């Protein structure tokens, strides 16, 4: 209770009011859209793990300080953002309902005590709700109220009774590693085939599917039979649904398929270069923004606010950041220019325009110059770092590249002296409409081709790469986008 009162007072001070008018303004908030509200076109989902109150704790990439978590929530609340339920999220993604523009889903993984006790008073203060994804073998057992690292069944029941928490599965006992070879190598439980030492072999694909299905199903049974809820959602441990495995590349489809047999929704983490919100695409797989103390409240709010759908009639002179997100590499925006570079740790750098995902037919013109001897690209119908059409510019060529599911599907190269490595600022561009795409240099089409059928829509990005040398960059100083065809 004391933490609750402290949070109420802290938020009242943060929001610029008093404790008394906070009390008087408290009301239940309905997530359903009302007259005059702007409708959401996408829903961001946040992921937290432990929320640490120990002042001596050093930040890592998984957990977050209590004061930083509070800053995240206070900033979102003050800006008008409101949490929604799993049912709201599912119905929105399926196109069954509309939601207010500033709606988000708040989630926590692992069923940890330090993601409940510090958090619940904040939720209560802000009229927020959350979803806890539970490793059921570590939380739901005959021994109740043990008070260890993971929440007990009694604690989960208390959370459900508050009305502020929902529960989902984080496997039964699959949040860990299995042996993948005789050499002692290990891989994630869900995405790797297990090494059967007694038989000196890897499990078969059928044995693998049976093992993970039994684990996923056991977690659902625990949640439903012991907590008395309908379990509809699943979060992949480590965010891995087969993306990182080496001994069984086919697990990407298998993990998702087995989870889909049991649950209606599944949750992973956004990868570098992913749009950070979820659209009405009836997708079983939801992306979550992973948070920690390195993500400031200001930057989190920038991600949320820049999710808003941008019109394809768009100009940018880079006096401020209007929604560009760095996927990887070096990134800065100053003096009327956006600079994207590779770094000592990255052979490339990429930034994409948040809010451009729903664009379809459009033209893009940009003033661009190269620093160093790298190659720069302007991508259209950009989905993520592994799916896009791009116009690539080097000092001696212009190329049209198609990338689908990490694979370079096609590349059409035209040799031409662009003179870009000499520091010349050139006008580059792309025109994309239906199945046709053209790459432009100084207002003229240089190379054209056909758009992959999987890329019927998508946004824009810029990229620089040089696998040999570092300290290369692409500098963009002006950008103009215009729709083609309907709505032009």
Report, as an integer, the average pLDDT of 267-271: 94
Report, as an integer, the average pLDDT of 94-112: 97
- What pLDDT, on a 0 to 100 scale, did the predictor assign at position 143? 56
Give the containing element (helix H, strand E) for 211.
helix 205-227
Q: Tell which wins on pLDDT, 58 or 144.
A: 58
Q: Is the dihedral of CA 178, 180, 186, 192 positive or negative?
A: negative
Q: 220 falls in which pLDDT band (50, 70, 90)?
A: very high
- What pLDDT, on a 0 to 100 scale, did the predictor assign at position 48? 98
- What pLDDT, on a 0 to 100 scale, did the predictor assign at position 24? 42
Q: 487 falls in which pLDDT band (50, 70, 90)?
A: very low
2-303 and 310-483 agree in CATH topology: no
- 27-79 pLDDT, tens digit per residue, is 444 556 554 579 999 999 999 999 999 999 999 999 999 999 999 999 999 99
Q: Which residues contact 337 (CB under 8 A, 6 or more apart)?
A: 318, 475, 476, 477
Q: 418 falls in which pLDDT band (50, 70, 90)?
A: confident
In CATH, 2-303 is 3.20.20.370: yes
Question: Any idea where the domains of the chain sit in the sequence?
Answer: 2-303, 310-483
- What pLDDT, on a 0 to 100 scale, did the predictor assign at position 86? 98
- Chain centroid to Cα 141, Å, comes to 33
Q: What is the mean pLDDT of the chain?
A: 91
In angstroms, the CA 359 to CA 57 distance is 44
Q: Tell which wins on pLDDT, 460 or 471.
A: 460
Q: Classify residue 203 by its DSSP letter.
A: P
- What pLDDT, on a 0 to 100 scale, did the predictor assign at position 27? 41
- What pLDDT, on a 0 to 100 scale, did the predictor assign at position 20? 44
In angstroms, the CA 107 to CA 290 distance is 10
* Res. 287: pLDDT tops 50: yes
DSSP states along 382-403: EEETTEEEEEEE-SSEEEEEEE
Per mean pLDDT, which range of 134-143, 281-290, 339-348, 383-392 is the poorest? 134-143
**Under CATH, which number does the domain 310-483 receive?**
2.60.120.560
- What pLDDT, on a 0 to 100 scale, did the predictor assign at position 34? 54
How much is the CA Rg of the chain, to the nearest whole Å? Answer: 24
Report, as an integer, the average pLDDT of 274-299: 97
Tokens 């965010």 locate to 239
- 346-399 pLDDT, tens digit per residue, is 899 999 999 999 999 999 999 999 998 889 999 999 999 999 999 999 989 999
């Amino acid at each position: 209770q004391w933490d609750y009162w402290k949070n109420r007072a802290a938020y009242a001070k943060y929001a610029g009011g008093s404790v008394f008018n906070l009390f008087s303004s408290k009301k239940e908030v309905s997530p359903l859209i009302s007259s005059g509200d702007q409708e959401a076109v996408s829903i961001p989902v946040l992921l937290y793990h432990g929320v640490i109150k120990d002042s001596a704790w050093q930040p890592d990439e998984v957990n977050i300080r209590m004061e930083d978590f509070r800053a995240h929530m206070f900033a979102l609340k003050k800006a008008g953002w409101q949490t929604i339920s799993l049912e709201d999220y599912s119905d929105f993604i399926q196109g069954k309902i509309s939601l207010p523009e500033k709606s988000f889903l708040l989630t926590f993984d692992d069923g940890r005590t330090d993601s409940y006790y510090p958090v619940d008073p904040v939720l209560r203060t802000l009229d927020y709700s959350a979803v806890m994804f539970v490793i059921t073998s570590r939380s739901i057992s005959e021994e109740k109220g043990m008070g260890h690292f993971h929440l007990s069944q009694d604690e989960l029941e208390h959370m459900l009774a508050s009305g502020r928490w929902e529960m989902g599965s984080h496997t039964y006992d699959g949040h860990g590693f299995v042996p993948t070879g005789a050499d002692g190598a290990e891989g994630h439980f869900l995405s790797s085939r297990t090494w059967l030492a007694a038989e000196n072999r890897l499990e078969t694909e059928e044995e693998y599917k049976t093992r993970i299905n039994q684990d996923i199903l056991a977690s659902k049974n625990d949640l439903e039979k012991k907590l008395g809820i309908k379990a509809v959602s699943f979060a992949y441990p480590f965010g891995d649904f087969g993306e990182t495995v080496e001994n069984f590349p086919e697990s990407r489809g298998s993990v998702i398929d087995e989870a889909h047999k049991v649950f209606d929704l599944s949750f992973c983490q956004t990868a570098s270069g992913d749009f950070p919100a979820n659209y009405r695409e009836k997708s079983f797989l939801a992306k979550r923004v992973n948070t920690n103390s390195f993500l400031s409240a200001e930057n989190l709010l920038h991600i949320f606010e820049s999710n808003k759908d941008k019109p394809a009639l768009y100009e940018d002179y880079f006096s401020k950041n209007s929604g560009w997100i760095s996927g990887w590499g070096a990134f800065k925006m100053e003096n009327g220019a956006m600079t994207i570079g590779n770094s000592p740790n990255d052979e490339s750098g990429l930034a994409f325009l948040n809010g451009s995902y729903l664009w379809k037919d459009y033209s893009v013109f940009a003033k661009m110059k190269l620093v160093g001897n790298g190659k720069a690209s302007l991508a259209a119908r950009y989905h993520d770092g592994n799916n896009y059409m791009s116009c690539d510019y080097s000092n001696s060529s212009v190329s049209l590249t198609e990338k689908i599911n990490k694979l370079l599907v096609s590349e059409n190269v035209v040799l031409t002296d662009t003179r870009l490595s000499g520091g010349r600022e050139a006008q580059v561009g792309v025109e994309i409409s239906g199945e046709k795409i053209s790459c432009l240099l100084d207002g003229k089409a240089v190379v054209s081709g056909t758009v992959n059928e999987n890329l019927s829509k998508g946004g824009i990005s810029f990229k620089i790469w040089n696998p040999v040398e570092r300290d290369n960059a692409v500098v963009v100083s002006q950008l103009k986008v215009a729709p083609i065809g309907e709505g032009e």
